[in-house]
Amino acid sequence: VLTALQSSSIYRLRHANRLAETLAPRKLQQLVEELAPDKCYKSYRSIMHSCDTPYISYLGMINTDVTFIMEGNPFSREVPGFSAKAVNLSAVKIMHRTLYELYTVNKAILETDIRENPQIVQWVNYNASISWDEDESIARSFVVQPRHYNVLEDLLQSAELESLWRELSHDFSRSEMKEVAESCFPNLTTLAEATDRLKGYDKDFVIAKLRKVQSSMQQMWNEYFLSFCLSDS
């Protein structure tokens, strides 16, 4: 989950990230802290050893452990005065302890009466069927949030506009205000640039733009609704 959230196509979606942090700030922060790779996943190992089985192990961490054991602790070594190599019992013991933990967890899972949840199975199968390469993920990311959208979001939440948006939010939707912001501040690159442009617009001008957008969106909705009804009949 954390790896996906930190991918470039998702990490750039600042509005979505803010939404996730708003909806579940403690849970998200807890995941970050518990799965931090610091000190060889010290926090996760502590939680894992204190949990009762069954639970699902983090196979990525176990695979890393096995790799480091095999590379840093050869299973055989030369002994002075002997032609044959001796078994490195220390390495075997470390490997046994690591694999035995995995075996214990798997054994507990197999001995547990786990019943299938159709909703979870359907959700997993559906998401597993969606396969996007990096280019497609980036393309979809820009559809959700265009390149200049970050600045617009900052602008809508900036101190200069905060009181105005709060006052207008009773009469206008977020999408209407966003469209006005896009028309008033096209091709934005920085928040400072938007703030400078903002000084040239007064409240009455913004309200007039909002009224125009609201009327246009209402007309578009009416036309869409009419065409939908005609096609349905």
As a whole number of angstroms, the distance between CA 161 and CA 179 comes to 15
The predicted structure's pLDDT at residue 226: 45
Mind listing the pLDDT tens digit for each residue in 182-221?
A: 555 555 555 555 555 555 555 566 666 656 655 655 555 4
Query: Considering only CA atoms, which of 28, 93, 34, 88 is closest in space to residue 61?
Result: 34
Residue 126 has pLDDT above 60, yes or no: yes
As a whole number of angstroms, the distance between CA 120 and CA 118 comes to 6
Structure tokens at 227: 């065409």
Span 66-87, mean pLDDT? 81
Mind listing the pLDDT tens digit for each residue in 87-113?
A: 888 888 888 888 888 888 888 888 888
DSSP string, the chain: -HHHHTSHHHHT-HHHHHHHHHHSHHHHHHHHHHT--HHHHHHHHHHHHHSPSP----HHHHHHHHHHHHHHS-SEE--TT-SSPEE-HHHHHHHHHHHHHHHHHHHHHHTS-PPP-HHHHHHHHHHHH----HHHHHHHHHHHS-TTHHHHHHHHTSHHHHHHHHHHTTTS-HHHHHHHHHHHSTT---HHHHHHHHTT--HHHHHHHHHHHHHHHHHHHHHHHHHHHHHH-
Mind listing the pLDDT tens digit for each residue in 29-74?
A: 788 788 888 888 888 888 888 888 777 777 778 888 888 888 888 8
Residue 225 has pLDDT above 50, yes or no: no
The predicted structure's pLDDT at residue 233: 39
The predicted structure's pLDDT at residue 189: 52
Residues 6+ away with beta carbon under 8 Å from 69: 91, 94, 95, 98
Mean pLDDT of the chain: 69
